[in-house]
């Protein structure tokens, strides 16, 4: 998270293999959409996404023409470019208060569904689903967003690594990739999220702090102060901050010395 140095260039190759194991694996879609999604101002319906790699399993809680609950699911595959799409299924089974009877199970293709994530962020998108019932064909288009139900605790002590790059530097020799390791301390209040990275090899500590914004399971700090003990003082945009099963992960983008733009992904396990 500091300006490129000869020392950093020297350690990049050494640590790359190690920290690749610590960091979240990149994928074709480069995002995780597991969450509860809703349309703003329409609290009575929603769709749950659970994601496995390039596949999303969606469960809809919506209502039929009689305004009674109706159950739909969908299996959506990523097209490698911009959207997840697949078949919509209607679901029917045994009354919940009675013993399960496999003979009551009735799952039928009922149409199609498509989720297009926003290209600007990972917490908004558009959902289109078509329900075919006999001669009736109904298509619904919704702007959806992650639902925030409760604050997610992020504070704690962690140890992890980061993979990043400098681009657009005045000196082309400074346009390099890098890796680092660090203890990470996170403190959290309703008004401030602070991340302190204590870089071991570089003997530098960097502190990022700002007002957090929560969207479902994700946090961001659109404008964070970014100061390091080596003299760096700038601002950063931190996004996709998320609690994981073992710790925390996130991304940041910041202009730094030399006209460079720093882009970094980090991940750490709780100590």
CA dihedral 74, 80, 82, 83 (to 10 degrees): -10
Integer angstrom CA distances of residue 260 from 165, 170, 172 = 9, 7, 10
Q: Which CATH architecture has domain 35-146?
A: Beta Barrel (2.40)
Domains 6-26+151-270 and 35-146 equal at CATH topology level: yes
Check residue 43 and give its pLDDT. Answer: 83
Check residue 110 and give its pLDDT. Answer: 95
Domain boundaries, the chain: 6-26+151-270, 35-146
Instruction: Measure the CA–CA gap between 153 and 151, rounded to whole angstroms.
Output: 6
What pTM does this model have?
Answer: 0.85
* Consecutive 10-residue averages of pLDDT for the chain (271 residues): 44 42 46 95 93 96 90 95 96 93 93 97 97 92 97 98 96 95 97 96 92 98 97 97 97 96 98 94
What is the C-alpha R_g of the chain? 23
Mean pLDDT, all residues of the chain: 90
Check residue 3 and give its pLDDT. Answer: 52
Instruction: Measure the CA–CA gap between 13 and 121, rounded to whole angstroms.
Output: 31
The two three-digit tokens of residue 231, written as one number? 């003299």
Task: List, in order, residues 6 or more apart from 68 with CB less than 8 Å away.
Answer: none
* Fold annotation for 6-26+151-270: Lipocalin (2.40.128)
């Amino acid at each position: 998270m500091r300006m490129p140095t000869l020392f950093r260039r020297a350690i990049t190759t050494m640590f790359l293999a190690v920290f690749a194991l610590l960091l979240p694996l990149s994928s074709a879609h480069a995002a995780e959409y597991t969450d509860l999604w809703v349309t703003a101002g329409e609290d009575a319906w929603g769709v749950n996404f659970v994601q496995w790699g390039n596949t999303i399993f969606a469960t809809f809680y919506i209502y039929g023409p009689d305004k009674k609950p109706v159950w739909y699911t969908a299996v959506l595959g990523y097209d490698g470019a911009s959207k997840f799409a697949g078949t919509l299924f209607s679901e029917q089974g045994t009354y919940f208060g009675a013993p399960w009877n496999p003979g009551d199970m009735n799952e039928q293709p009922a149409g199609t569904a498509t989720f297009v994530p926003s290209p600007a962020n990972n917490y908004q998108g558009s959902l289109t689903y078509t329900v075919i019932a006999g001669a009736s064909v109904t298509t619904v288009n919704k702007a959806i967003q992650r639902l925030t139900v409760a604050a997610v605790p992020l504070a704690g002590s962690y140890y992890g690594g980061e993979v990043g790059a400098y681009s657009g530097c005045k000196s082309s020799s400074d346009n390099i990739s890098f890796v680092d390791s660090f203890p990470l301390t996170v403190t959290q209040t309703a008004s401030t999220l602070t991340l302190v990275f204590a870089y071991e090899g570089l003997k530098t500590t960097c502190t990022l702090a700002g007002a957090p914004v929560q969207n479902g399971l994700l946090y961001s700090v659109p404008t964070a102060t970014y100061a390091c003990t080596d003299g760096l003082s700038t601002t950063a945009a931190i996004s996709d901050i998320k609690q994981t099963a073992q710790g925390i992960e996130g991304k940041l983008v910041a202009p730094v010395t030399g006209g460079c733009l720093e882009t970094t992904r980090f991940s750490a396990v709780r100590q």
